[in-house]
Structure 1
């Protein structure tokens, strides 16, 4: 038991980001208009509360209106400023309606996502998996950027924060090929934003989250009991991104595996393949992937 606790603590250490921001003057978030998607639960809900506590005006967007209303009510009860916007971001017409409603924002956080754990051959046989993951994870963020970035450029200041996954950095993500591809696409656009628009005062940050204990991973039994960061911990990454505008925030493990990929890509494939085999064996022992009673789609 002690050995397992030590192993879990070491894995959590690898999930934490590299501390690179000493000496950077933080941006005052008071009065900043922040649009945060996927705000009804998990990291998004916690981040919405934290950003409001920093004095930001939060436009909280999510599909699940009842949960979203609860989050906004908590913020307002604590003296914060927040507005709930119910929208299914997989529908691009609803994305455009969100842009029209908020008019302009200082910070856009593309957090809403859909994750599907499935072998590549099965995902390709279920084409709607590809379409619905890309719709929410890539097209919706790009559409929000399309609607809100011109105003940022015109004002000479703005920040786009895109939420990716740590697996984007080493590239290979067995069992999550479609999900990882959607996040890799978003990551690529995110970097271009800062490269092309940085001189105009508009910057971007990509956050490469590790495993986080949220409703999104609940259906995957293989993750039960594994080391994971909490929504509280990872919401702080968003707040840090808003204040300091780093190019990326990534866990130590992801950066280390990226380095391995540069010098020995086949070695990396072996490492990730064995890790996937262990998870699949664990899933089989725990009863595979079965949603708990009352479980619903966790796309926010």
Structure 2
């Protein structure tokens, strides 16, 4: 087998580990026609592709992002194809703008908290750059909770609603180096997401947490450590959101993440060593993060 074929096989195996286990849906698929979906982070990457896919299934998508020109382009493409979508530009790290968004959008059937900021940096450096902590918590945790606070009363009154929160696979094994600030924000959101289904499920309001692996989007582009690393396409990642919206599972997570979580239970220090080696391999190839 040639070196190129070996590399292809390795890449295919890595991608297989990034995909979720096949599962039977817990309930009949939800008909998305006419469903009012509020989708954040919709100007590019997973959010933009998901907006197209959800609108194609008949949902009324309210697309939210900071970059007004890109957001308008996404919504324009959707409406040109016969879909229903509205653009609302907003900086979700500003909680006052989050509150204004809730007032502007009205009733929401499905909330997808997709907007996020990722930082790959050693913990000691992040602690010395306190704004790292504040920025990721503001967008990745406070903003989703503020949106949840705004839309959930209506969902409970109607007896139906769904909240989809985006986390990261690194939350499950917990000890991934270089991601302490980012993982902390996503772990906090993941914890709340799980409790939503426990406390509000009887009222018809459910939650799904999506634990994405690495996805090839503009968010990871500045981080050179990811150059050449296998990653899901934004198109495939957006399909996870469609599946979440239609079947309402508790979680969608990669096979690899679930395996590492199990290892963390029985041999946490071994897991630490494996993740440290993975990080060292990336850095030894000259892919230090910016």
Q: 1:22 Cα deviation (Å)? A: 4.9
Q: In the alignment, which residue of structure 1 is the partner of 2:211?
A: 208
Q: Output aligned runs, 1:80-159, within 5 Å.
A: 80-159=83-162
Task: Name which of 58, 69, 88 aligns with 1:66.
Answer: 69
The residue correspondences of 1:1-300 to structure 2 (distance < 5 A) are: 1-22=4-25, 24-282=27-285, 285-286=286-287, 288-290=288-290
Q: Unmatched 5+ residue regions in structure 2?
A: none
Q: CA deviation at 1:258?
A: 0.4
In structure 2, what is the Cα distance between the partners aligned to 1:93 and 1:231?
30
What is the CA deviation profile of residues 74-113 of structure 1, one whole-angstrom value per residue up to 9, with x for unaligned ones? 0000000000000000000000011000111000000000
- Report the Cα distance in structure 2 between the residues aligned to 1:99 and 1:56, rounded to whole angstroms: 18
**Could you list the per-position Cα deviations for residues 198-254 of structure 1 after superposition, in whole angstroms to 9, with x for gaps in the alignment?**
000000000000000000110111111111000000000000000000000000000
CA offsets per residue over residues 145-166 of structure 1, 9 Å max, x none? 0000111011100000000000
Against the structure 1 CA distance between its residues 104 and 23, is the aligned structure 2 distance closer, same or farther, given a 3 Å change threshold?
A: closer
Where does structure 1 differ by over 4 angstroms across 4 or more consecutive aligned residues? none
Structure 1 residue 23: deviation in Å? 7.4
Shift of 1:21: 2.3
What do residues 152-197 of structure 1 show as CA deviations (whole Å, max 9, x unaligned)?
A: 0111000000000000111112101000000000000000000000
- Residue pair 2:26, 2:247 contacting (<8 A) in 1 also: no
TM-score (norm 2): 0.97
Does the 8 A contact of 2:25 with 2:249 survive in 1? Answer: no
Distance 1:125 1:154 in 2: 45
Give the RMSD, CA atoms, in angstroms: 0.9
Report if aligned partners of 2:64, 2:89 keep a CA contact under 8 Å in 1. yes
Post-superposition CA distance 1:11-38 (Å, at most 9, x none) = 0000001111257421000000000000
Tell me the matched-pair count: 287
